[in-house]
Chain A
Amino acid sequence: MSVRMAVFIFLMAVAIPVMGQEVTWERLINSDREPRNWLSYGGNYSAHRYSALEQINRGNVGQLAPVWIFPTGELRGGLNATPLVADGVMYLMGPMNRVFALDAATGRIIWRYHYKLPEISIPYQAGSRGLAIGYGRVYFGTVDNHVVALDAKTGHEIWQVEVEDVRQCGCNITSAPLIVRDKVIVGGTGGEHAHRGYINAFDAKTGRHLWRFYTIPAPGEPGSETWDPRMLKYGGAPAWLVGSYDPDLNLLYWGIGNPSSDFYDEFRKGDNLYSNSIIALDPDTGKLKWHYQEVPHDMYDFDSAYECVLIDYEKDGVKRKLLVHANKGGYTWVLDRVTGKYVNAYPHVDLLTWLKGVDGNGRPVEMQPVPPDKETYVCPSAAGGRNWDHSSYSPRTRLWYNVGWEVCNLIRPQKMDPVEGKPLFGGSMTFIPPKGQQSYGHINGFDPLTGERKWRYLTRYLNVASLLSTGGDLIFSGDVMGEAFALDAMTGKKLWSFNTGASISGSPITYEVNGRQYVAMPTGMGSLVGNLTTTLWPESEKSFPERASTLVVFALPGK
């Protein structure tokens, strides 16, 4: 045996167990210990979107260059994805539920799975935000409302189950599932349809349905008195993004969306629980442990569906288990995640008309009325003080990074009768710049508890992509005109940018293969509010990028 052969065999013996190692529950909930991988949608189960990798840092990020690109081949839906990476393999879902396993160092396809969609019209969007991996499987929800499990090695289908006929509910799954021990837990859309929102848990091994939590109580259940009985079946309140999980408390946190109809409230007098709330569930049973409603009786489409960022906050020797949550209305609520009690609330945008502030329990005071059949000027707009594009928390800088949008709208509620599974907006809104000024956007570094702003980076348009923070003290994101960029996580100063040629509305990640750090940036507009830029800045239309659905991956040269 030659020396070369012996070395090869030795390397294979070492490499195979590493490459073939299964993603276990222990690995998933301790993913911060292996920053070379990006194992779950939020980067960890606390939705931090942070990686400790530091090969790319403030000193050398200026040299960052593309090393491979991957087009999904399907433009309808752009690319909203958060790719996942485990042990050198990237799992990526493109629009129309095209799933790929790629060599994370080269982009070469290992396997592909194109989900067969029936001939239906797809509600909400054709793009998907992500998937989950664990137990040698890849799990995802489909835009026709199924949940699917694939073999992570081969891409072969293991099981699939229909949650509810999309033609009946007008709802589907556009976000990643969350694995909690032996369960795959999935939310769904439906806030703009006559639909009753829910979260479902399936057995990760068999796909069998285990529990369902309705986000609107049944008649007679606690909370049902906060609705007109007519809307208990149709009041929306969808769980359209993905939750977080605290393994020490065994609590599953999920943000719940707006009630239907969005603007017209004749049929839903009352607080409308658990719309616009954070709920904490026992993941074993699906039972409610606590809830906190941010926007009672929402009239503005101010979902609470966004990520629940779990932060262990320490100051002056006092440790606090916090849940930090950006509401769509431009206000951030901070809760005690053990009890669900209010801790603090602060605005993350400059212009707010819909409330004067909050009371001692965090409940909004002097909420702006929005009467039917006339226009009311409300800031921020129903597109949000930001949209779903996720925030990031760096345990190094102890700053929470969040996007803000300064856009207003004229809301005109209009009567609309609910018909099961049919759209139920109940009015319209016209996006306009704030009175007397141009619209603008920003990225901020906040103290997550107090809301004290440490820095702000002004964006020319609205940033529709998620933020990623790293151990190199960098913030990565991208803009609607196609520029991927990095900011200094300490100061917000821009340190690097690259024109990818396509609007960025997905969620960048970072990972490492064979000692080299990569940054993966999904490109291709996939956001429902993608057209806001050309609406608010008509001059942007001439240079607005074409459609795309491409992952662009960067690294330092020669590493």
Chain B
Amino acid sequence: MKHPIYKGSRIVQRSLFISGLAIALLVSWNERGTGQEQTRPGEQMVAAGRRVFAGSCGMAYCHGSDGVGGGGPRLRQRSFSAERLKRVISEGILGTAMPGFAGGLKPEQIAEVVAFLLSVNREVADERSKVRLDPHLTGGVSEVKERAATPVSIREAVSASRPPAGGGLMGDWRAGQEIFFDAADLRNCRVCHTLHGRGGKVASDLSRLSSEPPREIMRRLLTPGTTHEGRHGAILVRLKSGERITGILRDESEATLRVFDTATLPPVSRSYTREEIAEVSRLDVSGCPGGYGAKFTLKQLLDLIAFIRTSEPAQPASVGSDDLFR
């Protein structure tokens, strides 16, 4: 490539190397993607990335129009690697305002944003080739650990529920997800339980139930009181003041004890010093409030079971009323 003005510039060499690397990477991602993207010219990809960026990242609160900088770091005139950009866009940066976009943006959109960002880096390097590149690559983000795993994107997946056999009811995992995570319901599962990486940290992570048979999950939904699992069993804390708190033990040290007070939801983590406590006793029941047989219809219970059993959206679980008799 001939570029007489910037001939010999290390910056240009560097940016050309980065964009070359980027195109290689992008092609390799796309090969794993739809396959159609392979032949798409880089400029189209950059243009598409510019549009996605404008709508998702270009707010002045964040990276500003075309990455000139807003509340968040400037992205132009930097030298990010494509790999780093892809990782940060997908996973976000812990401890900062940078969210993970995996799940919000499709993988090809993320690839487009990466292509766009590499292009503005190259443009700016070209425009200001005599200016040294900003040596501060961190933008205040280097001090924090980055999230290891990409969150599971359930929404993006396609449901492929089996048609009902023999006219029985079928659970729909997406309807189950709506019930589980309905933000307007202050008494539903997610208030206490995590499932597939989201939800409360008070009670057990229900992801571990995903391989249980539907009948067993149904049993637990209808009679949670019969299953008290280790630290999630209910305790009674009687205070010297006379107050009594029923809930789930959170943690304890020599000096203090923390209990999730489940009298109201969301549960309240309450801390007591040993001096305040008269007695702690274990109750032989689960901390789960229960009552789900009355709260939900059979169809909704099947939806919930289908959702609990769907750990990979690409492989939605099929749960029908017939399964409850197996």
Contacts and interface: CB of A to CB of B under 8 A. Distances in A.
A206 B155 CA distance: 37
Contact of A119 (B94, B104, B199, B200): B94
Interface stretch (B23-31, B53-61, B293-301, B316-324): B53-61
Contacts of B55: 264, 414-416, 425-428
Nearest to A207: B268
A160 B95 contact: no
Contacts of B145: 119
Contacts of B92: 121
Chain B: number of interface residues, binned into ranges: 35 or more
Say what secondary structure dominates the interface of chain B: loop
Contacts of A159: 261, 268-271
A126 B266 contact: no
B197 interface: yes
B222 interface: no
Nearest to B256: A156
A110 to B, nearest CB: 19
Nearest to A172: B97
B99 A126 contact: no
Contacts of A160: 268-269
A338 to B, nearest CB: 32
Contact of A123 (B69, B97, B103): B97
B33 interface: no
A233 B183 contact: yes
Contacts of B269: 159-161, 207
A530 B155 CA distance: 35
B96 A122 contact: yes
Contacts, number: 171
B271 A157 contact: yes
B163 interface: no
B95 A162 contact: no
Interface residues of A, number: 68
Contacts of A192: 59, 61
Contact of A233 (B56, B184, B267): B184
A251 B239 CA distance: 36
Contact of A122 (B97, B184, B190, B264): B97
A419 interface: yes
Interface stretch (A10-18, A163-171, A436-444, A466-474): A163-171
B274 interface: no
A531 B70 contact: yes
Interface string B49-69: 001001110111100110011
Main secondary structure of the interface of A (DSSP, over half): loop
A528 B71 contact: yes
B266 A383 contact: no
A337 interface: no
A9 interface: no
A63 interface: no
A168 B183 contact: yes
B271 A164 contact: no
B103 A168 contact: no
Contact of A208 (B54, B56, B99, B261): B261
Interface of A: 75-76, 96, 117, 119-126, 156-165, 167-170, 192, 195-196, 206-209, 212, 214, 218, 233, 262, 264, 381-383, 409-410, 412, 414-416, 419-420, 422-423, 425-431, 527-532, 534-535, 547
Interface of B: 51, 54-56, 58-61, 64-65, 68-72, 74, 92-101, 103-104, 140, 143-145, 147, 151, 155, 181, 183-184, 186, 190, 197-201, 256, 258, 261, 263-271, 273
